[in-house]
Every structure is written in C-alpha cells, then in structure tokens.
C-alpha cells in the first residue's frame, strides 16, 4: 500500500458525492485496505463553507448551492475551470504535523505554477497561494487550501484557478478576505489546458510529499520547456 493512486474525473462531480467518496477512502486508508489517493476533479458551480465561515460572508445565498463542510477555512467557490485536488494521505507515514502538511500543499502549488512561469508566494497570516497580477493590479489569490484530518489521514485539499468565471466569486467574501482579488492562470495571461495543469501537479508532487524525498520541489519542468512553454 505504499504507492499513491491518482484518479482524474473527466466530468464534474457533485459535491456531496465527492465528500462521500473521500469519507469512504479515508476509512480504507486508515484500515490499510486501500492506497493513498490524489483525486483531480472539477465541481459544478457551488459555494462551500468551512468551519470558520461567517454568515455575513455569504453575499448571494441563492446564486449557487451552498454546502457546509468539515474542512478548515471560510467560504470558497468551486466550479468549472478550477482544478480541485483532493489529497488523501496517511500522515503516519510522514511528519504528524498539520501545519507542515498545509505548507507542503502550498509548496506543491507554487512548484506547479513555476512550470508555467508564474511566481506564487505566501502572504503572512493568509492560507493559500498568491501572485502579483501585474499591470499595477496588486496581488491576487490563485489557489485555496482547505483540509481536514481524521486519525492522521488527510482529505479535502486544494483548488487552483485555471480558467474559471471569476465573477462567480462575487457571491461570497472568498476565504474571508475583502481587501484582495481572486485571480487565475488565464487572468495572468497563461493559457493552459487542464491536462497540462494535471501533468504539472503530478510532476511536482513526489518531491514534496514522498516519504523518501527531502529535496526541495522543482521550479520548472523539462517537458514544458521542451514544448516552448
């Protein structure tokens, strides 16, 4: 059970179905009957409320379905054009350190962005990955992180904006942050397919999360350089 399984859903997955699937897999990982899993998918347009969500941050309650969820964080949006990565890992095989796990998720995203020529960064006191939007537009959040851990097995994970409709964020105060924008690869001038993003995520993953690997994550990949990206 040492190999990590990767799954990609080709069609949008309803949020309740995704949660049920994660719950089932987490129990199997804990029992040792299924391998760890990274699940890449998209959701139909919806809002989710984390354990720290404030009712006042839901600005348009009737715009999209709203789901309460056990992950950390506040309100966020999921929808087409956004790559969700649900990460189900057994932290008993790694450091039993929740903060380290969250930072590794951020590191994974930043390494992935670097392959597309985007410099991701952290902002003090703010979870997720941020970028300079250029042209004097200030910083923007390009990826969110929200996790839950049960018996040291992780679930939920990250959402990376590839080319979603950014106006869909108008119905919430995303992650409780009202003084910065949300952005995407497309908004940053990078045209990438979901398949390219998936390849980049997988390329960077082992250097951050492999129990045997301690090296820093790569900042670029030969396959994208060869393609002229």
Distance in angstroms (rounded) separating the CA atoms of residues 218 and 130 = 18
Task: Report yes or no: 12 and 43 within 8 Å, Cβ to Cβ.
Answer: yes
Whether 100 sits among the annotated catalytic residues: the reply is no
Can you list the alpha helix ranges (DSSP code H) found in 70-122?
Answer: 98-114
Distance in angstroms (rounded) separating the CA atoms of residues 120 and 107 = 9
Q: Give the active site residue among 13, 88, 162, 175.
A: 175
Distance in angstroms (rounded) separating the CA atoms of residues 40 and 49 = 20
User: Could you tell me which residues come within 8 angstroms of residue 120 by beta carbon, excluding any fewer than 6 positions away?
Assistant: 106, 109, 110, 113, 114, 129, 130, 131, 142, 143
Phi, psi of 158 (to 5 degrees): -130, 160
Residues recognised as catalytic: 175
């Amino acid at each position: 059970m040492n190999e990590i399984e990767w799954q990609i859903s080709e069609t949008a997955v309803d949020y309740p179905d995704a949660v049920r699937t994660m719950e089932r897999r987490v129990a199997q990982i804990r029992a040792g009957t299924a391998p760890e899993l990274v699940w890449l998918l998209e959701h139909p347009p919806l809002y989710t409320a984390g354990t720290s969500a404030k009712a006042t941050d839901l600005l348009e309650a009737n715009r999209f379905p709203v789901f309460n969820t056990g992950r950390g964080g506040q309100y966020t949006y999921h929808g087409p054009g956004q790559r969700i990565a649900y990460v189900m890992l057994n932290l008993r095989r790694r450091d039993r350190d929740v903060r380290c796990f969250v930072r590794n998720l951020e590191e994974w995203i930043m390494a992935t962005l670097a392959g597309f020529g985007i410099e991701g960064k952290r902002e003090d006191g703010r979870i997720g990955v941020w970028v300079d939007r250029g042209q004097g537009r200030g910083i923007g959040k390009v990826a969110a992180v929200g996790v839950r851990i049960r018996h040291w097995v992780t679930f939920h994970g990250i959402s990376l904006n590839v080319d979603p409709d950014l106006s869909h964020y108008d119905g919430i105060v995303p992650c409780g942050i009202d003084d910065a924008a949300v952005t995407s690869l497309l908004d940053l001038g990078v045209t990438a397919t979901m398949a390219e993003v998936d390849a980049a995520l997988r390329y960077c993953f082992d250097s951050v999360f492999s129990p045997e690997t301690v090296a820093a994550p790569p900042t670029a990949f030969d396959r994208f350089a060869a393609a002229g990206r």
